[in-house]
Amino acid sequence: MQEQAAPFQAALTQAISALGTPAFARGLAELLATQVNADSTVIVSYQHTGAAIYLYDDLQHRRELLFQQYLNGIYAEDPFYRALRSGIPDGVYSLQALITEQSGDPHYMAQFYQATGWQDELGLVLRVDSKQWLTIFLGRLQASPFTLTEQRVLGKLVPLLSALCQQHWSHSKANLAQPAQQAPLLLQADMRARVERALLSFGQSRLTQREQQVAALLLQGHDNQAIAQQLAIGIGTVKNHRKHLYTKLKISSQSALFTHFINHLITLG
């Protein structure tokens, strides 16, 4: 279990270290890549008013379509954008499921989407603030559909991703569409050590030792079952510890827990 978690933890550390810098979007994509294989990742911001804003891509096939057509207006017919305008909540959605629910413009699928070469697509929908959403698109060029298991894996990451994106992008235009640079190895190592220290000290003055352990594992992406196995306790006990630590920290969601931790990490300096 620890070997499987290591790439995720390393990528999470790198993403946190990139908060507030142009490298964050790439770090976000690399974090997702530790959980689900995709041929392409595209991150776009949408607002109540104004055009879609490019944030990141690693496209190797027909990349010009993103800039010449999608960002130039075709995005308005994207089933994901239409769903956002209808008030879809944060989560992970498949393109095919949204198409089934909507009666969209056939031009989008028959011409633009077909030209991209993508055979299947998932979108992670995240609200940054009251006026801005993000969608992280994951695409496959091969006829290998994303599975329900993969969607569930990504779904568990939504609170973490939401907290990170809100911390980085909320009320800010400074970090949009800037080229990413790789953080120096020494900086990454220093941030990794800071994250580890922050995990050990998080909630120290308010939580019991067991509650701290549960909180640290939640912050590392483990679900209730994985926490129960790692701590050798029952799932019901994990749920009780989780309820108590939420109450003590005066929060009500896993997203708030991640936000609380990021703020704790920043205050450690």
Give the pLDDT score at 104: 59
**Mean pLDDT throughout 180-209?**
70
Domain contains 242 = yes
Residue 178 belongs to some domain of the structure? no
User: Residue 246: what are its φ and ψ, rounded to 5°?
Assistant: -60, -45
Q: How confident is the model at residue 105 (pLDDT cuts 50, 70, 90)?
A: low
139 and 208 in a single domain? The answer is no
Give pLDDT, residue 4. 54
**Do 7 and 118 lie in a common domain?**
yes
- Indicate whether 118 belongs to any domain: yes
Q: How many structural domains comprise the chain?
A: 2
Are 44 and 54 contacting, i.e. CB atoms less than 8 angstroms apart? yes
When pLDDT is averaged across residues 223-237 and rounded to a whole number, the result is: 91
- Last residue of some domain: 169, 201, 220? 169
Q: Which residue has the higher pLDDT, 50 or 97?
A: 97
Quickly count: other Cβ atoms within 10 Å of residue 144's Cβ. 11
Backbone phi, then psi, for 110, in 5-degree steps?
-75, -30
Domain coverage including residue 40: 2-169
Same domain, 25 and 117: yes
**10-38: per-residue pLDDT in tens?**
899 889 988 888 889 999 999 999 999 99
The pLDDT, as a whole number, for residue 179 is 41
CA distance 257 to 220: 11
User: For position 246, which CATH number holds?
Assistant: 3.40.50.2300
- The 8-class DSSP code of residue 61 comes to S
User: Which of 112, 143, 169 is the last residue before a domain boundary?
Assistant: 169
3-state secondary structure of 58: coil
Which helix (H) or strand (E) segment holds residue 135: the answer is strand 132-140
pLDDT (tens digit per residue) in 66-97: 888 888 788 888 999 989 988 899 999 999 89
Beta carbons within 10 angstroms of residue 119's beta carbon: 13
145 domain residue, yes or no: yes
Angle of CA points 183, 22, 48, to nearest 5°: 155
Residue 5 confidence (pLDDT): 65
Segment 1-10 shows an average pLDDT of 69
In terms of Cβ atoms closer than 10 Å to its own Cβ (0-12, 13-18, 19+), residue 230 is: middle
- Whether residue 145 sits in one domain with residue 18: yes
